[in-house]
Amino acid sequence: MGAISSTPQKPCSFVTWVNNDNYALGALVLGHSLRKVETKHKLHLMYSKGVSTRMLELLKMVWDEVSSCDIIDSKDENNLKLIQRPELGITFTKLHCWRLTQYSKCAFIDSDAVVVQNVDDMMNYNEIAAAADMGWPDFFNSGVYVFEPSEETYRKLLEFALEHGTFDGGDQGLLNMFFKEWHLEGADHRLSFCYNVCPSAAYGYKAALKKIGTDIKIVHFMGHHKPWHCNKGVTPMPCFWSLWQSIYHEKVRE
């Protein structure tokens, strides 16, 4: 009675993944933005071949842990099958996040996103938690999601992908078919859209943006136009574009 459990709790972590130096610039800004909002969780970056040694050094200065993942070189049977489905390669690499079993829970965030307000409360949600995709809101957008690392889930995802492929050619289609019931789940699986706002939201429903704008927590520059491509974006949310640029210039570029 009164004994305090001494089982060490596994930590939680934010996770991203990059495979080249351009997206790595995004990961640097993302990492710094998470520091800026004073997250108490770990920052874990996965990288694949294509990230330069120099860039990796920079990344290590802001991300607590980095690990490499390169499925195509792997030798196990599932991955051999995968080599016959090269279009799934990129998708599968992202799935490696489920193997980060040193963490009890994680939030994956695309490297083309920037955190605006503290989002540590994401770790209170349950797998799979995500926000609706604007294009077809029964599906979640896979740029931001909460998951529970598990070798078992990883294996099932791999099997599922090999059997069913992915209807949109990316991880979003795959994850939405695997976690098919997401849109029927309750509040512990549904992140507010404020956790994954894409700038084009400003086109569709200006009044909503005006009403909700100050609640925005994560801005995700999904699509072709990435903030590291140029200085002045023709973006419908110039304030967030500027936020990205200011972190970039203050923390990354000098």
Ligand X SMILES: O=c1ccn([C@@H]2O[C@H](COP(=O)(O)OP(=O)(O)O)[C@@H](O)[C@H]2O)c(=O)[nH]1
Q: Which residues are at the interface with its own copies (CB under 8 A)?
A: 131-139, 167-169, 173, 183-187, 190, 192-194, 201, 204-205, 207-212
| Binding of Mn ion by 171 (CB under 5 A) | no
Complex with its own copies: residue 58 or 177, whichever CB lies closer:
177
Contacts (Cβ under 8 Å, ≥6 apart) of 128: 140, 145, 146, 147, 175, 179, 182, 189
Taking the C-alpha atoms of residue 164 and residue 166, their distance in angstroms, rounded to an integer, is 6
Complex with ligand X: residue 2 or 25, whichever CB lies closer:
25
Cβ 151 to Mn ion shortest distance, Å: 26
Closest-by-Cβ residue to Mn ion is 110
Taking the C-alpha atoms of residue 103 and residue 112, their distance in angstroms, rounded to an integer, is 23
**Amino acid found at 13:** S
Any idea how long the chain is?
Answer: 254
Q: Which does 86 bind (CB under 5 to 8 A by kind): ligand X, its own copies, Mn ion, none?
A: none
72: number of Cβ within 10 Å: 13
| Measured CA distances, 113 to 151, 199, 222 (Å) | 27, 11, 8
Q: What residues does 115 pair with on adjacent strands?
A: 218
Cβ 206 to Mn ion shortest distance, Å: 18
| Spatial CA neighbour of 67 closest among 17, 136, 110 | 17
Chain centre to alpha carbon of residue 18: 10
Cβ 27 to Mn ion shortest distance, Å: 11
Cβ 35 to its own copies shortest distance, Å: 27
Cβ 200 to its own copies shortest distance, Å: 9
Complex with Mn ion: residue 112 or 127, whichever CB lies closer:
112
Pairing of strands 218-220, 140-147: unpaired
Which one of residues 26, 31, 143, 149 is an interface residue with Mn ion (CB under 5 A)? 143
Cβ 168 to its own copies shortest distance, Å: 4
Q: Which does 187 bind (CB under 5 to 8 A by kind): ligand X, Mn ion, its own copies, none?
A: its own copies
Given the rule CB under 5 A, which of 41-49, 114-122, 139-147, 187-195 is the region that contacts Mn ion? Answer: 139-147
Cβ 56 to its own copies shortest distance, Å: 34
- Tokens representing 77? 């049977």
Contact 123, 30 (CB under 8 A): no
Burial of 34 (0-12, 13-18, 19+ CB in 10 A): buried
| Binding of Mn ion by 222 (CB under 5 A) | yes
Binding site for ligand X (CB under 6 A): 16-20, 23, 110-112, 143, 222-223
**Count of positions on this chain that bind Mn ion (CB under 5 A):** 4
Complex with its own copies: residue 144 or 194, whichever CB lies closer:
194
Residues in contact with Mn ion by the rule CB under 5 A: 110, 112, 143, 222
